[in-house]
Amino acid sequence: MIDTAAAVASYRADLAANPRKPGRVSTANRANGPAAAAVAKRAKAVAAQADAARTMAEMRRAGMTFGAIADTFNADGITTRYGSNWDAANVKRVIALYA
């Protein structure tokens, strides 16, 4: 069984090493027009959501509740792909969809 503190520490270390800026589109994508930028932005959001789901699933296996996982993400400033704060229902849904 994975230790909860170790799972959170691993998540925070990964976040520090690879800061994500959801919704940010590169200049190269802007040059290809709004449609290409929208497609790139959506693909990036889906990839970030899948990464978050893997982390959430690991935290859940470590024994954390959905609410505790949401609180951890909110405390670290990680928002949903729509820019909202996490809650238990969002965490549960993301884990079910992606993990």
Q: Quick one: pLDDT at residue 68?
A: 97
Q: What is the domain range of residue 25?
A: 4-98
19-31, pLDDT tens digit by residue?
655 444 455 545 5
Determine contact, residues 57/1, Cβ cutoff 8 Å: no
Q: What is the mean pLDDT of the chain?
A: 80
Determine contact, residues 78/36, Cβ cutoff 8 Å: no
Q: How close are the terminal C-alpha atoms of the chain, in Å?
A: 18
Burial bucket for residue 2 (CB in 10 Å: 0-12, 13-18, 19+): middle
Q: Quick one: pLDDT at residue 24?
A: 46
- Number of structural domains found in the chain: 1
Q: Name the more confident of 53 and 43.
A: 53
Q: Quick one: pLDDT at residue 50?
A: 84
2-11, pLDDT tens digit by residue?
566 777 777 7
Residue entry with tokens 């976040």: 15
